[in-house]
Amino acid sequence: MSKLNKIALQILSDGRGILAADESNGTMTKRLDSVNVPSSPENRLLFRETLFSSDGMKDFIGGVILYDETINQTSSSKQTIPELISASGAVPGIKVDTGAKVLAGSTEEKITDGLDGLRERLQRYYNLGARFTKWRGVYNISDKYPSKLSIHSNAHALARYSALVQESGMVPIVEPEVLMDGDHSAETCLKKTSEVIKKCFEELIIHKIDLSGIILKPNMILAGTASNKKISSEEVARLTLKCLKENVPSNVPGIAFLSGGQTEIEATQNLNLISKYNDTNFIMSYSYGRALQKSALKFWSKDLKDMDGTQKIFNHRAKMCTLAAQGKWSAELETK
Ligand code: 13P
């Protein structure tokens, strides 16, 4: 077993998942604005530290993705944030892309930036304690999108990123996110997501990536948010498994889904069925941002000092997601 494979398995073992707490300051400001909390470095740290020091971290979370600001912060217990995360048994990770920018040649689409100086930044993050990383490519669905240009260029960037990350001794999370926005059907989502993932693996293979040392972070196969042809969780699970079976090489150890704007319950219920019907070798788990933090953030915003109350909400959500990653979740457990 390679060192990178060992890290990937450590993050996703026993139903553990990933807490995606890597919102950029811009995105975190939107999240905090939505609950009327000022977005200061202190408040961003306080909310995150509240989650990172919860009991749920020990039992359910195998990895935490951080943003540059947070990985450089120190907790109130004087531990650095990566030390606080490691103390709970989870692996610290870091978002290393610098965001999605306008794609020259197809200006309604995006290309993810961040390759310049990446080798040096990775060294610094490794020294701060990170052992895995994230890079997100983003794709829109419409009649003409995602274009061949966006599919090719984002796959190429994800592969160049992955090569540098593995060279630095860390596990790359490869995140091609096909957005839920639009009125497309689930069949269209299946077709476009399959094209995107297929191309990513073609490029990863050209760039000599050790596929046993990556984690894939895809979207689930869903109808668009504005579609009037919503599908059941059973169908989501069936189509998502079909997409992954057909396009992901079998030596990839684990798949950790993004929540992408689904509600907490939708993201949990869909993951539960994907795991229950999982007839592949892939570990199926989660790497949720909003679907792990939304209720906790709302509760916390009422009293920023109520650590216990906020942690209780987070612990419950993380437990539900971990049960779902094992196919052991049921709706009744939500109210217990
Ligand atoms: P969501 O689960 O809120 O989609 O966030 C996951 C993530 O890391 C997006 O890049």
pLDDT tens string 217-234: 999 999 999 999 999 999
Is the CB–ligand 1 distance for residue 258 below 6 Å?
A: yes
Q: Is the pLDDT of residue 245 over 90?
A: yes
SS (H, E, C) the chain: CCHHHHHHHHHHHHHCEEEECCCCHHHHHHHHHCCCCCCCHHHHHHHHHHHHCCHHHHHHEEEEEECHHHHCCECCCCCEHHHHHHHCCCEEEEECCCCEEECCCCCCCEEECCCCCHHHHHHHHHHCCCCEEEEEEEECCCCCCCCHHHHHHHHHHHHHHHHHHHHCCCEEEEEEEECCCCCCCHHHHHHHHHHHHHHHHHHHHHCCCCHHHCEECCCCCCCCCCCCCCCCHHHHHHHHHHHHHHHCCCCCCEEEECCCCCCHHHHHHHHHHHHHCCCCCCEEEEEECHHHHHHHHHHHHHCCCCHHHHHHHHHHHHHHHHHHHCCCCCHHHHHC
Average per-residue pLDDT in the chain? Answer: 98
Is the CB–ligand 1 distance for residue 317 below 6 Å?
A: no
pLDDT recorded at residue 249: 98
Interval between CA 259 and ligand 1 midpoint (Å): 6
Instruction: Name the nearest CA neighbour of 64 among 118, 117, 10.
Output: 10
Q: Region 60-84: what's the mean pLDDT?
A: 98
Is the CB–ligand 1 distance for residue 20 below 6 Å?
A: yes
Please identify, by atom number, the ligand 1 atom nearest to the C-alpha of residue 259.
Answer: 2
Q: What is the pLDDT of residues 124-138, one digit of tens each?
A: 999 999 999 999 999
pLDDT recorded at residue 24: 98
Q: How far apart are CA 195 and CA 327, in angstroms?
A: 28
Please identify, by atom number, the ligand 1 atom nearest to the C-alpha of residue 290.
Answer: 3
Q: What is the pLDDT of residues 169-190, one digit of tens each?
A: 999 999 999 999 999 999 999 9
pLDDT recorded at residue 16: 98
Is the CB–ligand 1 distance for residue 288 below 6 Å?
A: yes
Is the CB–ligand 1 distance for residue 262 below 6 Å?
A: no
pLDDT recorded at residue 1: 75
Confidence category of residue 2, pLDDT binned at 50, 70, 90: very high
Interval between CA 321 and ligand 1 midpoint (Å): 14
Interval between CA 177 and ligand 1 midpoint (Å): 9
Q: Is the pLDDT of residue 302 over 80?
A: yes
Is 3 a residue of the active site? Answer: no
Residue 30 neighbours by CB under 8 Å, 6+ apart: none
Residue nearest to atom 5 of ligand 1 (CA): 289
Confidence category of residue 336, pLDDT binned at 50, 70, 90: confident
Is 175 a residue of the active site? Answer: yes
